[in-house]
Amino acid sequence: MSSTVTTPPSSAGSDSACPAQRPAVPASVTEERKRKRKESNRLSAQRSRARKQRQLDDLTKQLASLRAQNGAMAAAVHDATRQCAAVQAENELLRARYLELGVRLQSLLELIQYMDAATSAVYNPSPFAGAMHLQPPLLDATMYHYC
């Protein structure tokens, strides 16, 4: 036993319903629906414009913030570059001073070495050391006493 269920046509306006089967809607109801739809669309557009305005305001604030950050970072880069140049200049001065002091130190070490050699030759004469030029002079002004 099979039974078939039939459903009555709806008055909501299904696609399969023919216009002849729809009950006639008074013009005042149609106008009211149209007015409500227009009001709904107007409010929706208003909300959409407000949302877009908020987004634009947020982006404008973000742009100002990023520009401020960019300016601060540019100033920091400028300061760092200036400090780097100052350090490099100081480095060059220190390098030149280092070389100058190295030459002076080498000169002083050679002088000390020469003086040590001369002192040891005077106090420890060696016949083979060639210390003839380091011997005391043969003639000395104190040898002749003029009275």
Coil, helix or strand at residue 126: coil
Q: What is the pLDDT of residue 138?
A: 55
Q: What gap in Å lies between CA 80 and CA 76, rounded to an integer? A: 6
Residue 73 lies in a domain: yes
Q: Check residue 117 and give its pLDDT.
A: 85
- CA distances from residue 26 to 30, 35, 36 in whole angstroms, order as listed: 7, 15, 16
Residue 71 lies in a domain: yes
* Measured distance CA(35)–CA(42) in Å, rounded: 10
pLDDT at position 143 is 55
Instruction: Going residue by residue through the chain, which has 147 residues, state the pLDDT in tens, using 9 for 90 and above.
Output: 445 545 545 544 445 555 557 778 788 889 999 999 999 999 999 999 999 999 999 999 999 999 999 999 999 999 999 999 999 999 999 999 999 999 999 999 999 998 888 888 767 666 555 545 555 555 555 555 554
**In a domain? residue 65:** yes
Confidence at residue 23, expressed as pLDDT on a 0 to 100 scale: 73
Residue 106: predicted pLDDT: 95
Q: Is 50 inside a domain boundary?
A: yes
Residue 60 lies in a domain: yes
Residue 68 DSSP code: H
pTM: 0.47
- What angle is formed at CA 93 by the lines to CA 89 and CA 97, rounded to 5 degrees? 165
**Owning domain of residue 59:** 29-96
Residue 59 counted as domain residue = yes
CB atoms within 10 A of CB 10: 10
What is the tally of structural domains in the chain?
A: 1
